[in-house]
A = this chain, B = another copy of it.
């Protein structure tokens, strides 16, 4: 976790305080259920709630763990210091450490998902606003980095919206993947604890009881979760790369907002660099790097080995914190992005009229010229623009073979920008409903 790429809300989910609080709730609810089933005395279950308002002492627990070398035992020992060792005797009964640890991890991931969903909502809102704002702002579409045909800035935002909307659905599905709890004992047989305890605790904590667990909750769930975050990160990179391209000196169709006090470079004071989107490109790599170890974590030995644990201690917080930060940074960039419609027009007209070549090609074939010949005619005039800076329309009007097939008015009509934007509303309806 790198402080400069972190937001406090997400960091708090992964604090020891939060973790111990969740452990406590699991143990306390489990005692309630055990009392209800008559396994332990109701008075002892009730006694556990005495610690309801306690903020657990992380340093003290660490101290105990230094001796026991076992974190859950350390916590239980500390808990007994609060509620009395006699009443604490029934806490954790029939449970195994992983019942607590795995259920807690999933609760943390669910909470993290909720924050990520909120971040995604902010990104979507920003994209939607900017899409409508620039629905009709004409801009050259590019394939291979080369001018192709006109499109609009609104369509660019709209496609990022659609992509992020898919990511929102994936995120919600990922949240469901890990919204399970397990209290099933040492190897998942419920030998020492009734399945109803699991059901009760899960219900209280808004989880689904894991269909079948071993000592642990199966890690294919977590693999799917982190794989999904990796996809989302790649979409963030996708938007970031688009903005970085737009801010290139030669293109300059948009710029990240540049605040008054900010210095672009220690050496070159004129510079305004797309540092936020470059940073997002790097953050995307960081989020993505959790995917492979999460996949490698699936094949645990028999009913469990603990190799996944150190991986999750790192990628659990690091990946969700980084993605959370990235979503909000992205939202901020989109919300405040400075857009230059006049530069978009300037760029589009760089090769006068050339971007209309396909329309002319089509018109020629529709006027009865063979596809091969049409292609040849268009390309021959296009090359004059490309190589000598000629005006495409002028060249076409002067080409006898072209004018044999198309009237000047017909040629003229092919250069109408409205032709390219006529379905924008249709597409917006598809995207925004």
Contacts and interface: CB of A to CB of B under 8 A. Distances in A.
6 contacts: A70-B266, A97-B267, A143-B303, A191-B422, A230-B295, A270-B357
Interface stretch (A49-57, A109-117, A377-385, A399-407): A377-385
B69 A259 contact: yes
Tell me which of A68, A214, A365 has the highest count of chain B C-beta atoms within 10 A of its own C-beta: A214
Given A189-B155, A300-B238, A310 B279 contact: yes
Contacts of A385: 270
B73 A266 contact: yes
A155 B335 CA distance: 39
Contacts of A306: 144, 273, 275, 278-279, 282
Given A195-B423, A286-B310, A310-B2, A303 B141 contact: yes
B426 A93 contact: no
Contact of A270 (B4, B248, B386): B386
A138 to B, nearest CB: 11
Given A224-B231, A250-B350, A188 B155 contact: yes
Given A162-B212, A269-B378, A286 B311 contact: yes
Contacts of A143: 186-187, 214-215, 265, 271, 273, 302-305
Tell me which of A270, A306, A354 has the highest count of chain B C-beta atoms within 10 A of its own C-beta: A270
A228 B177 CA distance: 13
Interface stretch (A18-26, A118-126, A165-173): A165-173
A296 interface: yes
Interface string A266-289: 111111111100110111111011
A37 interface: no
A297 B214 CA distance: 27
Interface in A143-163: 143-151, 155, 158-159, 162-163
B141 A188 contact: yes
A170 B307 contact: no
B148 A191 contact: no
A269 B303 contact: no
A255 to B, nearest CB: 10
A399 B162 CA distance: 50
Interface string A363-379: 00110001110010011
A47 interface: no
A82 interface: no
A129 interface: no
A188 B231 CA distance: 23
Contacts of A307: 278-279, 281-282, 285
